[in-house]
Amino acid sequence: MTADTESGMSRVADRPARKAASPAIRRWRRLRSAAIVLATQGALLAVLLGFWDHMTANNKQAAYMSALAYTFLFKELGDDANRSVQ
C-alpha cells in the first residue's frame, strides 16, 4: 500500500506546472461564462412567459386570477414604497 501511494505521489511531482492564464484569456473566460448565464436566463424567461401566455389564453379564470394577483402585488409593493418614504 505504501508503494502505491509513493508511486502516485511521484507521478504528481513529475507533472509539469501549469502556466497562469494571461489576463486576456481570463477576461474572455469570465465574459463567456457571463454570456452563458445571461442566455440561459433569457431562455428560461421565454419559456415561462410562453407557458403563462398559453395557460391564460386557454383558461379565462387563470387569466383573471393572474391579473388579480399582479394587481394585489403591485398595490402592496407601492404601499410599502410609500411607507418607507414617509
pLDDT tens digits for range 22-79: 888 889 999 999 999 999 999 999 998 888 888 778 777 776 777 777 777 777 766 6
The more confidently predicted of residues 4 and 36 is 36
CA nearest 54: which of 43, 62, 45? 62
Return d(Cα 11, Cα 64) in angstroms, integer. 67
pTM: 0.50
pLDDT score recorded for residue 84:
55
Whole-number pLDDT of residue 72: 75
Domain residue spans of the chain: 21-85
DSSP symbol at 59:
-
C-alpha cell at 71: 394587481
**Alpha-helix runs per DSSP H in 1-22:** 2-14
Phi, psi for 21 (deg, rounded to 5): -70, 145
Q: So what's the pLDDT on residue 44?
A: 96
Residue 10: predicted pLDDT: 58
